[in-house]
């Protein structure tokens, strides 16, 4: 039997419905499963995200905690809301105790204004601001330099504050300061150097113009420092410079600047109202401060200095002018004989220009025969007879007239002209003595003294020149006495010793000129093969009123004799001095009391008269 259509339809419908239902059910179940899976997935993701967040948070916290930076969150008023624990390490403060305190309360008074301004700027604009450097109080009371960068997150819903990121830059800062200090100071004495001095001078001049004040520059240069340095050693030299720096500092006002320009050159910058007299008085005071003996490595060292003073003259003088003028004045002071103060005046600048002409003229003078020699007799102190002469150079300038050797010999040395000029002096003097010998004016034991400059001494062919001249003129070597100043001997040391020894081998005599001006001891000078010591005329000039000087001259004479040297006293002007040098045992005397330097003709008369008398 076939099912009825109805039943068929019905079962079909049922099947359909069932399948539909099934579909529905399974579909739903599937959807529910998917949902659940989705839910589960959602949960683990969130957890993971939360975990990640927590990790990240602790990472950040660790970062903040262990960072050397200090992070502070403050309100717009600077009240601390939160500060990272690193504050304890950097500034020693307990972070909990800082809550509610004002940031500005910890800032150095000198930096408060800048800090407050930076805070105001930060409040005014969202985002990150330029860092500023300021000093912040450490709990121990010291100050640390912090570089603070502020970010305005006042509008950020999470932070709602100013975030200050502070980094400790104290060491960097100190290093920078140290480097700056080194660049502008002299490492030995710690005084400002030339660069800083010039900078201060520029500022001082600008300020002085506004306040109608005057600026004085004083240049100081130690006399004979090189000699001390060479004889006592560089250690002692350095110690002396440090002591001098301290003396100078003690003598000036706190507002003045004392600088070291290198070597034994110092400079003082002073600002005041009373002009030149005050500056000159101050320079005198500085020299006086140095006059007291300085204790260096356990011994007393006497040092003198020369000073040059220049004063600003309103608008006209710039820093460079002032420095140059002080330098010119110092040069003058040195030239005028050490231990002096010279104040610059306009004529000196003209003299410097004149010096240039002088140099040109000096170069031409030899060819033009403008030089001649005069001879100052040396007298045997006990017998009163002429025992020799010293040849002294004279320059008859066509326009200026007689120019003193004190003026042109240093110039001739600087320019090297002295080498050919010195050779001329030697030849001319020997030629003259040869003539006197031919005429029979010259007795045995007669000496011709000729001055040698330091420049000549280092000339490699000096010995050859001397021996050639002696051979040419037939003057016996023993009759020639070459004078070298004490300072030159001290300065040139070992190199000149060899030259001196070679000269000795020729048979000529050697004398130390101007003895006593170079602070050396006879014991030191013994290393040079010298026969005669010429005691400087500054000692002879002082014997009448200074018993200490008397003692010095007596001791020197005594010692020189013990060392097998003879002694000549220079610059004898009075009867009393003659008596003194005679009692002190000096062998020879030279000076205006006996004879001034004389032209060759007069010396010839003198010598022949002496010969007749002796006969
Ligand atoms: P010095 O070698 O010490 O010469 C002695 C100087 O003292 C001379 O000065 C002489 O005139 C001066 N004098 C002599 N007796 C007296 C006195 O009783 N009182 C005073 N106040 N002075 C006296 P001068 O001739 O002006 O020479 C100065 C310096 O120039 C010399 O000093 C010497 O260092 C240098 N000099 C002169 N001629 C030459 C030379 O041919 N070559 C070199 N290298 N230097 C020379
Ligand atoms: Ca001399
Ligand atoms: Ca002399």
Q: What is the pLDDT of residues 431-483, one digit of tens each?
A: 999 999 999 999 889 999 999 999 899 888 999 999 999 999 999 999 999 99
130, exposed or middle or buried, with CB in 10 Å at 0-12, 13-18, 19+? exposed
Most confident option among 49-63, 155-169, 274-288, 564-578: 564-578
DSSP, collapsed to helix, strand or coil, labels residue 458 as coil
Are the CB atoms for 314 and 208 separated by under 8 Å? no
Q: What pLDDT was estimated at residue 21?
A: 61
The average pLDDT across 388-398 equals: 95
CA–CA distance, 213 with 216 (Å, rounded to integer):
10
Say if residue 578's pLDDT is above 50.
yes
Q: What pLDDT was estimated at residue 319?
A: 87
Q: What pLDDT was estimated at residue 331?
A: 87
Q: What percent of the chain clears pLDDT 70, i.e. is strictly above it? A: 93
Expressed in percent and rounded to 5, the helix, strand and coil fractions of the chain are 55, 20, 25
**pLDDT range class, residue 1, cuts 50, 70, 90:** very low
Q: What pLDDT was estimated at residue 127?
A: 87
Taking CA atoms only, the protein residue closest to ligand 1 atom 11 is: 597
Q: 516 C-alpha to center of ligand 3: Å? A: 10
Q: What pLDDT was estimated at residue 12?
A: 57
Which of 89-98, 289-298, 349-358 shows the lowest per-residue confidence on average (mean pLDDT)? 349-358
Q: What pLDDT was estimated at residue 3?
A: 47
Say if residue 34's pLDDT is above 60.
yes
Q: How far is CA 126 from the centre of its chain?
A: 52
Is the distance from the beta carbon of residue 59 to the nearest atom of ligand 1 less than 6 Å?
no
Q: 377 C-alpha to center of ligand 1: Å? A: 12
Q: What pLDDT was estimated at residue 29?
A: 74
Is the distance from the beta carbon of residue 496 to the nearest atom of ligand 1 less than 6 Å?
no
Are the CB atoms for 471 and 427 separated by under 8 Å? no
The average pLDDT across 566-594 equals: 97
Is the distance from the beta carbon of residue 597 to the nearest atom of ligand 1 less than 6 Å?
yes
Are the CB atoms for 505 and 245 separated by under 8 Å? no
Ligand 1: which of 377, 409, 539 to mutate, most ligand atoms within 8 Å of CB?
409
Which ligand is closest in space to the CA of residue 597?
Answer: 1
Strand ranges, E, within 294-370: 294-296, 299-301, 304-311, 341-343
Are the CB atoms for 68 and 90 separated by under 8 Å? yes
CA–CA distance, 363 with 383 (Å, rounded to integer):
43
CB count in 10 Å sphere of residue 503: 24
Say if residue 169's pLDDT is above 50.
yes
Is the distance from the beta carbon of residue 409 to the nearest atom of ligand 1 less than 6 Å?
yes
Question: What pTM was estimated for this model as a whole?
Answer: 0.54
Measured from the CA of 514, which atom of ligand 1 is nearest? 3
Is the distance from the beta carbon of residue 453 to the nearest atom of ligand 1 less than 6 Å?
yes
Taking Cα atoms as reference points, which of 466, 456, 397, 371 lies closest to residue 422?
A: 456
Q: 325 C-alpha to center of ligand 2: Å? A: 32
Is the distance from the beta carbon of residue 407 to the nearest atom of ligand 1 less than 6 Å?
no
Which of 28-37, 114-123, 129-138, 363-372 shows the lowest per-residue confidence on average (mean pLDDT)? 28-37
Ligand 1: which of 365, 392, 533 to mutate, most ligand atoms within 8 Å of CB?
392
CB count in 10 Å sphere of residue 477: 16
The partner residues of 219 in beta bridges, in order of sequence, read 267, 308
Q: Which residue has the tokens 């040419």?
A: 472
CA–CA distance, 216 with 201 (Å, rounded to integer):
9
Mean residue pLDDT across the chain:
88
Sign of the four-CA dihedral 198, 203, 204, 205: positive
Q: How far is CA 247 from the centre of its chain?
A: 16
Is the distance from the beta carbon of residue 451 to the nearest atom of ligand 1 less than 6 Å?
yes
CB count in 10 Å sphere of residue 89: 15
542, exposed or middle or buried, with CB in 10 Å at 0-12, 13-18, 19+? middle
Q: Which residue has the tokens 């006497």?
A: 302
Which ligand is closest in space to the CA of residue 407?
Answer: 1
Say if residue 550's pLDDT is above 60.
yes
What is the per-residue pLDDT across 58-94, written as a single tens digit (0 to 9) for each?
Answer: 777 777 667 778 999 999 999 999 999 899 999 999 9
The average pLDDT across 154-160 equals: 89
Is the distance from the beta carbon of residue 589 to the nearest atom of ligand 1 less than 6 Å?
no
**pLDDT range class, residue 206, cuts 50, 70, 90:** confident
Q: What pLDDT was estimated at residue 158?
A: 85
Taking Cα atoms as reference points, which of 443, 447, 469 lies closest to residue 456?
A: 469
Residue 568 host element (H or E):
strand 566-569
Measured from the CA of 593, which atom of ligand 1 is nearest? 18
Say if residue 398's pLDDT is above 70.
yes
The average pLDDT across 21-48 equals: 76
CA–CA distance, 494 with 490 (Å, rounded to integer):
9
**pLDDT range class, residue 4, cuts 50, 70, 90:** low
Q: What pLDDT was estimated at residue 13?
A: 57
DSSP, collapsed to helix, strand or coil, labels residue 167 as strand
CA–CA distance, 338 with 17 (Å, rounded to integer):
133
Is the distance from the beta carbon of residue 411 to the nearest atom of ligand 1 less than 6 Å?
no
**pLDDT range class, residue 22, cuts 50, 70, 90:** low
Q: 392 C-alpha to center of ligand 1: Å? A: 6
Q: What pLDDT was estimated at residue 338?
A: 76
What is the per-residue pLDDT across 479-512, written as a single tens digit (0 to 9) for each?
Answer: 999 999 988 887 766 677 889 999 999 999 999 9
Q: Which residues of 251-270 are buried (b: 16+ CB within 10 A; e: fewer)?
A: bbeeebbbbbbeebbbbbbb
What is the per-residue pLDDT across 221-247, written as a single tens digit (0 to 9) for each?
Answer: 998 888 788 778 889 999 999 999 999
């Amino acid at each position: 039997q076939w099912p009825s259509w109805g039943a068929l339809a019905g079962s079909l419908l049922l099947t359909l419905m069932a399948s539909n239902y099934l579909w529905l059910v399974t579909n739903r179940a599937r959807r529910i499963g998917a949902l659940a899976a989705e839910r589960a997935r959602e949960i683990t993701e969130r957890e993971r995200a939360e975990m990640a967040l927590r990790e990240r948070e602790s990472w950040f916290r660790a970062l903040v905690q262990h960072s050397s930076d200090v992070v502070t969150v403050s309100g717009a008023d600077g009240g601390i809301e939160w500060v990272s624990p690193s504050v304890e390490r950097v500034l020693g403060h307990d972070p909990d105790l800082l809550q509610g305190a004002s940031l500005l309360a910890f800032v150095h008074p000198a930096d408060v204004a800048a800090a407050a301004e930076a805070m105001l700027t930060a409040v005014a604009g969202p985002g990150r601001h330029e860092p500023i450097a300021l000093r912040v109080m450490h709990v121990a009371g010291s100050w640390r330099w912090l570089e603070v960068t502020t970010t305005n997150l006042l509008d950020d819903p999470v932070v709602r504050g100013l975030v200050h990121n502070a980094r400790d830059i104290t060491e960097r800062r100190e290093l920078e300061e140290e480097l700056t200090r080194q660049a502008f100071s002299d490492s030995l004495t710690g005084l400002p150097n030339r660069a800083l001095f010039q900078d201060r001078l520029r500022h001082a001049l600008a300020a002085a113009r506004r306040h109608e004040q005057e600026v004085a520059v004083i240049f100081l240069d130690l006399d004979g420092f090189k000699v001390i340095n060479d004889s006592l050693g560089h250690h002692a030299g350095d110690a002396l410079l440090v002591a001098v720096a301290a003396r100078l500092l003690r003598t000036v006002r706190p507002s003045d600047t004392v600088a070291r320009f290198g070597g034994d050159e110092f400079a003082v910058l002073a600002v005041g109202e009373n002009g030149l007299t005050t500056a000159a008085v101050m320079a005198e005071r500085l020299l006086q401060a140095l006059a007291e003996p300085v204790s260096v490595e356990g011994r007393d060292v006497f040092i003198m200095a020369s000073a040059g003073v220049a004063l600003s003259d309103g608008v006209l003088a710039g820093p460079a002018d002032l420095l140059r003028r002080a330098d010119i004045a110092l040069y003058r002071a040195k030239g005028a004989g050490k231990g002096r103060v010279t104040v610059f005046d306009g004529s000196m600048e003209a003299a410097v220009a004149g010096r240039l002409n002088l140099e040109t003229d000096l170069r031409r003078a030899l060819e033009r025969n403008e030089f001649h020699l005069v001879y100052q007799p040396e007298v045997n102190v006990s017998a009163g007879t002429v025992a020799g002469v010293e040849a002294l150079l004279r320059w008859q300038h066509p326009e200026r007239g007689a120019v003193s050797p004190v003026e042109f010999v240093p110039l001739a040395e600087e320019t090297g002209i002295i080498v050919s000029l010195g050779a001329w002096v030697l030849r001319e003097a020997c030629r003259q003595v040869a003539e006197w010998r031919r005429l029979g004016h010259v007795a045995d034991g007669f000496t011709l003294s000729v001055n040698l400059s330091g420049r000549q001494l280092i000339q490699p062919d000096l010995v050859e020149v001397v021996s050639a001249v002696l051979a040419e003129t037939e003057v016996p070597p023993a009759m020639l006495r070459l004078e070298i100043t004490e300072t030159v001997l001290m300065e040139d040391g070992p190199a000149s010793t060899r030259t001196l020894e070679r000269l000795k081998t020729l048979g000529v005599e050697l004398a130390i000129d101007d003895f006593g001006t170079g602070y050396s001891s006879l014991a030191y000078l013994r290393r040079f093969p010298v026969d005669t010591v010429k005691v400087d005329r500054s000692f002879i000039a002082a014997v009448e009123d200074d018993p200490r000087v008397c003692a010095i001259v007596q001791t020197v004479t005594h010692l020189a004799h013990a060392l097998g040297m003879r002694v000549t006293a220079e610059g004898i002007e009075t009867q009393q001095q003659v008596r003194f040098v005679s009692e002190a045992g000096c062998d020879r005397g030279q000076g205006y009391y006996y004879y001034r330097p004389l032209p060759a003709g007069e010396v010839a008369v003198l010598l022949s008269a002496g010969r007749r008398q002796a006969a």
